[in-house]
Amino acid sequence: MSERVRLYAGTQHGLIVWHSNNSDWEELGRDFADGIIDSIAGCRLHPQRVFVGITHNGLYRTEDGGRHWGKVLDGDIRAVTIDPTSDDVVYAGVEPVGLHRSEDRGENWIELSSLRELPQEVKKNWRFPQPPHQGHVRNIFIHPDNSKIIYLCIEHGGVVRSFDRGKSWEDVSQGIDYLDIHVILNLPSRFDCYFLATARGFFTSDNPAEGWVRAENGLTRDYFHDFLFLPGHAGENPTMLLATADKSPGFWRREGRGARAALFKSKDCAQSWDLGAGAPPLRPRCSVCRTRRCGAGPRIGFGRCGQDSLEPRPRRKLAGSVDPAPG
């Protein structure tokens, strides 16, 4: 049975869906023309099921590869993640800072309200620079080897984690001086090594509760967004790719020189970085894709890209799935 790749592109003006047609791409449709697509997540074992978060307009789901969509959660959705151990379990992060979970593919939801019970000393940092000045959950990380472990990246606001699926939380932001947090990942198959991309630094920690240290040797940019680990051989450090830019989005437009986007590579777990050899100059602000493999089963890729121009269209988001073509 042949496979067909389907690509979902989230933009500031809605969603576009393509699928591969031999060596070319064919557009299947466009939806949410007035919506800002802020997050996309696909299911590992059910690639026809995809969730799309729309700023100020809720979370939507398709069960047929993007042909039809239905709203499953109201709210200002800023992040959505599927539990890596179960396609039925979905997490959605919102603005103002909050987290919701569904155990039945998005049919019913509960708010994990204990997140809002963190001390005021922590919550006072949950403030975004632009009106209405409320922070939001930017990234939800669920440990692939223990789904009870959850980390949240709060933009702006820091990093918090739970060891009990969100029943209780602790702040683990020590060592980060500017709390504009974008993405957190663990070193594959490890519980004691984490990496963190922020708007003012790239960090690592063997124990986030004890603090973070910078891991920027060789980097010539100071704005960090997405990163990934390439598949590697057992016993070897996986290659890391890191999407970077200079300064911040407001600076790109104000100074008139763009983002100066660049893709860096590390082969020693972020101890040192080099510009990606042979990579063409990057026009997008940041461009990187994560691909999950599970034996011979479906593969799902996630990524994002953005404009390096002066126009106020800050980014697009991508998600892809590989599903079997009708046999």
pTM confidence score:
0.86
Give the domain CATH number at 183: 2.130.10.10
Q: Report the SS3 class of residue 115.
A: helix
Which phi and psi angles does 251 have, rounded to 5°? Answer: -65, -40
- Alpha-carbon span 239 to 229, nearest angstrom: 6
Given pLDDT bands bounded at 50, 70 and 90, which one contains residue 25?
confident
pLDDT at 326 over 60: no
- Give residue 299's pLDDT: 37
Q: Report the SS3 class of residue 252.
A: helix
- Give residue 321's pLDDT: 54
- Give residue 250's pLDDT: 79
What is the percent of the chain where pLDDT is above 90? 68
- Give residue 282's pLDDT: 52
Summarize pLDDT for 273-286 with one digit per residue, the tens: 999 755 555 554 44
Both tokens assigned to 180: 């504009």
Contact assessment for residue 314 and residue 38, using Cβ atoms and an 8 Å cutoff: no
- Alpha-carbon span 13 to 16, nearest angstrom: 9
Contact assessment for residue 34 and residue 61, using Cβ atoms and an 8 Å cutoff: no
pLDDT at 327 over 70: no
- Give residue 310's pLDDT: 32
Diameter of the chain measured on Cα atoms: 57
The DSSP-derived string for 268-301 is STTSS-EEPTTPPPP-SS--EEEEE--TTS--EE
Planar angle of CA 198, 38, 281, nearest 5 degrees: 60
- Alpha-carbon span 191 to 187, nearest angstrom: 8
- Give residue 281's pLDDT: 53
* 156: amino acid identity, one letter: H
- Mean confidence (pLDDT) of the chain: 86
Q: How many domains does the chain have?
A: 1
Summarize pLDDT for 198-247 with one digit per residue, the tens: 999 999 999 999 999 999 999 999 999 999 999 888 888 999 999 999 98
* 231: amino acid identity, one letter: P
Contact assessment for residue 325 and residue 4, using Cβ atoms and an 8 Å cutoff: yes
Give the range of the structural domain holding residue 21, as residue numbers without chain letter.
3-324
